[in-house]
């Protein structure tokens, strides 16, 4: 079976949750006989085709970007050619230009939409885009959300009850770098025996300003890994609050990130807006057997982190509640350790790449069988 994935960005030019999920989808599908191709945009698409893991990436020229939406004149031709060879097309939503390409191409292949997130921030553009979006989603054979939480709280997904499905994102721990004792010892010496860890891009919805506010007047060690648009602002806030035990490490390579995940005491994930539809780095914490603290925003974060079982879930944008949750885990190491064990067990049960690959293969087969019946 041949599947074409279509999205505006991809590894290794852009590193984010959606790109990571697409990679795991392509790689886990190979075990089920699925041959995956990715079509994406690039400012410098040379070479145009590159091998990546067990799949191929095709890159079209990014001509212009408006409100986080990439446009390309050449991608329509490439899409038509690649879609003609595919059995199923997997569109990764949201990307309004993708909807246009879908209709302009005139393609009538079986299609699924991986629904990564509602459109939260671009409210004015959403009003203009809504008719196209609704038509596009209605044209898909299936729409897949990553958690029942998101499915039940998305006003958009509620309009398509007959075609929505839930397949959680999955990670393959075997693909993560193995522990290097020397690297681990170096980080342990620098960061100490116990620390809370945040990993992610410093974006508006990540709630890092709430985390810093929660640390006012307490001295819990917090390590922040990642860079992004709010980096300067957050450094200034930490300085203004007089926080001496927060370490901003910037962007790290995969080996260092894996070492910190292993060494950390607990994961803190303060995202406060629905733009955080799932939380891959939160799931990485569960995969490494760490207790977690997250906020209740009606998305996949509370599917990964089950309150009182794998960690603690607090109201969003509530620094005192976040501070209290950190205090609870810090003062109760035995309870924290039990939560960590349960977090890893939940990852193995629900969020492995193997399980994700199995469910997606079954869904593709279901869609193909349905289409062949309709053609008969």
Q: Is 121 helix (H, G, I), strand (E, B) or coil?
A: coil
CB-neighbour burial class of residue 202 (10 A; exposed 0-12, middle 13-18, buried 19+): buried
pLDDT band at 32 (very low <50, low <70, confident <90, very high): very high
Q: What is the pLDDT of residues 320-330, one digit of tens each?
A: 999 999 999 99
Average pLDDT over residues 54-70: 91
Q: Is the pLDDT of residue 123 over 90?
A: no
Percent of the chain with pLDDT over 70: 99
Q: Please report the pLDDT score of residue 375 as a whole number.
A: 58
Helix and strand counts by DSSP (H, E) for the chain: 14, 16
Mean pLDDT of the chain: 95
Q: Are 226 and 207 in contact (CB under 8 A)?
A: no
**DSSP type of residue 158:** G
Average pLDDT over residues 187-216: 96
Quote the pTM value: 0.92
Average pLDDT over residues 18-25: 94
Q: Is the pLDDT of residue 15 over 80?
A: no
Q: Is the pLDDT of residue 124 over 80?
A: no
What tokens were used for 6? 């279509």
**Angstrom distance (rounded) from CA 238 to CA 250:** 15
* Residue listed under structure tokens 């996949």: 300
The three-state (H, E, C) secondary structure of 256-275, written as one string? HHHHHHHHCCEEEECCCCCC
Q: Please report the pLDDT score of residue 90 as a whole number.
A: 98
Q: Which of 311, 307, 304 is nearest to 348 (CA)?
A: 304
Q: What is the pLDDT of residues 217-238, one digit of tens each?
A: 998 999 999 999 999 999 999 9
Domain spans of the chain, in order of start:
2-171+353-375, 173-350
Residue 54 to residues 27, 104, 113, 162, 184: CA-CA distances in angstroms? Answer: 6, 30, 22, 33, 30
Q: Is 78 helix (H, G, I), strand (E, B) or coil?
A: helix
Q: Please report the pLDDT score of residue 110 as a whole number.
A: 96
Residue 351 to residues 79, 84, 305: CA-CA distances in angstroms? Answer: 31, 32, 12
Q: Is the pLDDT of residue 376 over 70?
A: no
Q: What is the pLDDT of residues 241-288, one digit of tens each?
A: 999 999 999 999 999 999 999 999 999 999 999 989 999 999 999 999
Q: Please report the pLDDT score of residue 94 as a whole number.
A: 94
Average pLDDT over residues 288-303: 97
Q: What class, spelled out in words, does domain 2-171+353-375 have in CATH?
A: alpha beta
What is the side-by-side strand order in the sheet with 292-295? 246-250, 222-225, 196-199, 266-269, 292-295, 311-314
**Angstrom distance (rounded) from CA 84 to CA 107:** 8
Check for a shared fold between 2-171+353-375 and 173-350. yes
For the domain spanning 173-350, the CATH number is 3.40.50.2000
Say whether the peptide bond before residue 20 is cis (omega within 30 degrees of 0). Answer: no
pLDDT band at 374 (very low <50, low <70, confident <90, very high): low
Q: Which of 368, 354, 176 is nearest to 281 (CA)?
A: 176
Cα atoms in the Cβ-side hemisphere of radius 13 Å centred on 108: 4
């Amino acid at each position: 079976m041949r599947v074409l994935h279509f999205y505006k960005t991809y590894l290794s030019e852009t590193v984010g949750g959606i790109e990571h999920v697409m990679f795991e989808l392509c790689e886990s599908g190979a075990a089920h006989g699925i041959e995956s191709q990715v079509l994406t945009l690039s400012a410098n698409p040379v070479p145009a085709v590159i091998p990546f893991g067990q799949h191929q990436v095709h890159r079209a020229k990014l001509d212009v970007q408006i409100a986080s939406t990439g446009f390309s004149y050449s991608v329509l031709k490439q899409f038509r050619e690649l879609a003609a060879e595919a059995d199923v097309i997997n569109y990764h939503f949201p990307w309004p230009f993708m909807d246009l390409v879908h209709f302009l191409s005139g393609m009538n292949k079986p299609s699924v939409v991986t629904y990564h997130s509602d459109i939260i921030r671009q409210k004015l553009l959403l009003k203009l885009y809504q008719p196209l979006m609704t038509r596009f989603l209605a044209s898909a054979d299936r729409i897949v959300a990553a958690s029942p939480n998101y499915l039940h709280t998305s006003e958009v997904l509620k309009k398509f009850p007959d075609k929505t499905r839930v397949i959680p994102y999955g990670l393959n721990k075997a693909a993560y770098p193995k522990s290097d004792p020397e690297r681990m010892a170096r980080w342990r010496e620098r960061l100490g025996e116990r620390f809370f860890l945040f990993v992610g891009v410093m974006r508006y919805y990540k709630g890092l300003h709430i985390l810093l506010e929660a640390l006012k007047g307490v001295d819990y060690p917090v390590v922040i890994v990642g860079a992004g648009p709010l980096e300067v602002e957050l450094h200034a806030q930490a300085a203004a609050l007089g926080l001496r035990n927060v370490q901003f490490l910037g962007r790290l390579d995969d080996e260092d990130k894996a070492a910190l995940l292993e060494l950390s005491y607990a994961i803190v994930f303060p995202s406060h807006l629905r733009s955080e539809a799932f939380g891959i780095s939160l799931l990485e914490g569960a995969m490494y057997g760490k207790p977690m603290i997250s906020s209740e925003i009606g998305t996949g974060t509370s599917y990964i982190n089950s309150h009182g079982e794998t960690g603690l879930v607090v109201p969003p944008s509530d620094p005192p509640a976040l501070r209290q949750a950190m205090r609870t885990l810090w003062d109760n190491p035995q309870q924290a350790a039990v939560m960590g064990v349960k977090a890893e067990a939940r990852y193995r049960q629900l969020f492995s790449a193997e399980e994700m690959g199995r469910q997606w293969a079954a869904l593709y087969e279901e869609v193909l069988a349905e289409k062949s019946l309709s053609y008969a």
